[in-house]
Amino acid sequence: MKMLAPWRTRRSEPGHRTGGGDTLSMFRSRMNELFDEMFQESPAKELFFAGDDWTRAEGPSFEVSESDEELRVKAELPGIDEKDVEVTVENGMLLVKGEKRSERDEKRRRYHVSEVSYGSFERSIPLPAGADVDAAKASFDKGVLTLVLPKRQVAESSAKRIPLSKG
Amino acid sequence: MSENVITGTAKGDVTREDDLPVFIPYADVYETPDSLWIRCDLPGVSEDDLEITLEKKVLTLSGRQMNQGRVGAEPVAAEYRTGIYQRSFSLNRDVDEGSVKARLRNGVLDLEIPKSPEAKPRRIPISGA
């Protein structure tokens, strides 16, 4: 299945990330390997992992988990104000937009380490069928955004059996 | 004067502690005339789960990110895992160890480490001839 709208992010102000980033990239690629192993046979992988696209994702880290009752999306957004985060749902896509404002006052500060990224980001995630957008709840705590979308009970007979006639 | 005032001690690969993965958090480190500042991204860490120590000019922070509300849920995609954030910074300025201030807000830790009077820039008055 080819993703129409894969994970994507956009940064308006790249390049603040120096030093230490390598460790995280290493960690990310190792995590990707682990998840590749874990989801090798899972249809969920095709739904959420858009080929290599997601491995290139920069910006905030997301986590999507699913139970029978709900879909849970969490995003690490440290240092981002609640008012600078926007969550919308359109055409079955969940869109999380935000901006981490920099308060860098270059004149007074002498930087020795600068790894934290600032700027805006945008991320879209395809929602599975049955996710109840109207009952979605969002909360923001300690720099972590949590979205909970309950699942509507989808009729189990959505897959129609076609009878075979002998002939 | 050395550029490398503060060195973050990266632990290299992800290690484990109490069966939890240990991560190195991202940090900004800067200096103003009066203080050293460390700003560190610690999403999901609460004040109670954060420990900051300063010993022999090595500042170490260790924060535990607790996992909540995942009971019975299957991870579908995850770019981060919960665990322990840990990082050490060696300070090679003389600092006033007793008056370090820490503030945790929106998952970001701000540390203000005042320099000792000897380490502050001093203005030398010039007297007329």
Q: Quick one: average pLDDT of A151-167? A: 73
Q: A144, B39: Cβ pair inside 8 Å?
A: no
What's the whole-number mean pLDDT along residues B7-18?
A: 50
Which residue in B43, B77, B81, B92 sits closest to B63, CA to CA?
A: B43
pLDDT of residue A162: 82
Alpha helices in chain B (DSSP H): none
User: B35 or A34: whose pLDDT is higher?
Assistant: B35
Average pLDDT, chain B: 81
The H-or-E segment that residue A140 falls in is strand A137-141
Interface probe, candidates B9, B22, B26, chain A, greatest A C-beta count within 10 A: B26
Burial class (CB in 10 A: 0-12, 13-18, 19+), A77: buried
Mean pLDDT (whole number) for B21-49: 91
Whether residues A116 and B39 touch (CB distance < 8 A) is answered with: yes
What is this structure's pTM? 0.67
Tens of pLDDT, residues A106-151: 667 888 888 888 888 998 888 888 888 889 999 999 999 999 999 8
Count of C-beta atoms within a 10 Å radius of residue B113 = 23
Q: What is the mean pLDDT of residues B89-109?
A: 91
Q: B26 or A5: whose pLDDT is higher?
A: B26
Give me B81's structure tokens: 């895992």
Residues of B in contact with A81 (CB under 8 A): 106
- Give the pLDDT mean for A29-54: 52
Tell me: the pLDDT tens digits for A84-108?
999 998 888 899 999 988 876 666 7
pLDDT value at B70 more than 70: no
What local confidence, expressed as pLDDT, does residue B2 receive? Answer: 31
Backbone torsions φ then ψ of A47, nearest 5 degrees: -70, -40
- For residue A19, list chain B residues with Cβ-Cβ distance below 8 A: 8
Chain B residue with the nearest C-alpha to that of A49:
B77
ipTM: 0.73
| Chain A residue with minimum CA distance to B4 | A112
pLDDT grade for A11, boundaries at 50, 70 and 90:
very low
Predicted local confidence at residue A5, as pLDDT: 38
| Torsion, CA A111, CA A99, CA A141, CA B21, rounded to 10 | -60
Q: How confident is the model at residue B75, as a pLDDT?
A: 74
